[in-house]
Amino acid sequence: MSEAIKIQEPVAPELNLTLPAKLAGLWPILAPIALALVFILTRLKFGEHGFLYDGALTVLALVCYISASVLLVTNLWVKEEVLAKFGLWTVMLGYSFNLSGWMIRWIEAGEKEGWVDGRVWRYYPLDNLHALTLGFCCGAALATLIVIRKPKYRILGALSMPVLSVVLTLGIALGNEIRTLQPILDSYWRPIHVSIATVAYGVALMSFGIAFAYLLKDGLRSEAIAIAVLLFGVLVLCTVDSQPMTGRFEVPGHASYGLSLFIDKTSLPLRSTLPGVGPLMVAALLMILGSLAFFIMQWQNRDEAKRKIGWKLFYGATILQGLVLALVTYHIANANKLPVNVSDRAYTEFSPWLAKQMQQQVPASQQLQIAQNWVKTQGAGLKVSFNSNPVEYGALFGLFVALLMVWLLTSKRQEVNNSLPALNSLDSLLYRTVGICIALLTMLLITGAVWANESWGRYWGWDSKETGAFVSWMAYAGYLHTRIAHGWRGRKSAYFAVLGFALVIFTWLGVSYLLPGLHSYAE
Low-confidence ranges of the chain (pLDDT < 70): 1-24, 50, 114-115, 117-121, 180-185, 241-255, 336, 338, 344, 359-365, 367, 379-380, 385-387, 510-523
Q: What is the pLDDT of residue 476?
A: 92
pLDDT for residue 394: 87
Chain center to CA of 122: 26
User: How big, in percent rounded to 5, are the helix, strand and coil portions of the chain?
Assistant: 75, 5, 25
Q: Which helix (H) or strand (E) is 216 found in, with range?
A: helix 189-217
Nearest to 242 by CA among 389, 445, 362, 367: 389
Contact present, 134 and 21 (Cβ < 8 Å): no
What phi-psi label fits residue 420: left (phi over 0), alpha (psi between -120 and 50 degrees) or beta? beta
Provide long-range contacts, Cβ within 8 A and 24+ apart, for 274-281.
274/327, 274/328, 274/331, 274/338, 275/331, 275/341, 276/327, 277/324, 277/327, 277/328, 277/331, 278/252, 278/254, 279/255, 280/320, 280/323, 280/324, 280/327, 281/237, 281/240, 281/252, 281/255, 281/257, 281/324
H or E stretch at 273: strand 266-273
pLDDT digits (tens, 9 = 90+) for 463-518: 777 888 889 999 999 999 888 888 888 888 899 999 999 999 888 876 666 655 44
One-letter amino acid at 126 equals L
**3-state SS, one letter per residue, for 294-349:** HHHHHHHHCCHHHHHHHHHHHHHHHHHHHHHHHHHHHHHHCHHHCCCCCCHHHHHH
- Give pLDDT, residue 285: 94
- In angstroms, the CA 233 to CA 123 distance is 38
Q: How many CA atoms lie within 13 A of 406 on its CB side?
A: 24
pLDDT at 255: 61
Spatial separation of the C-alpha atoms in residues 18 and 10, rounded to whole Å = 18
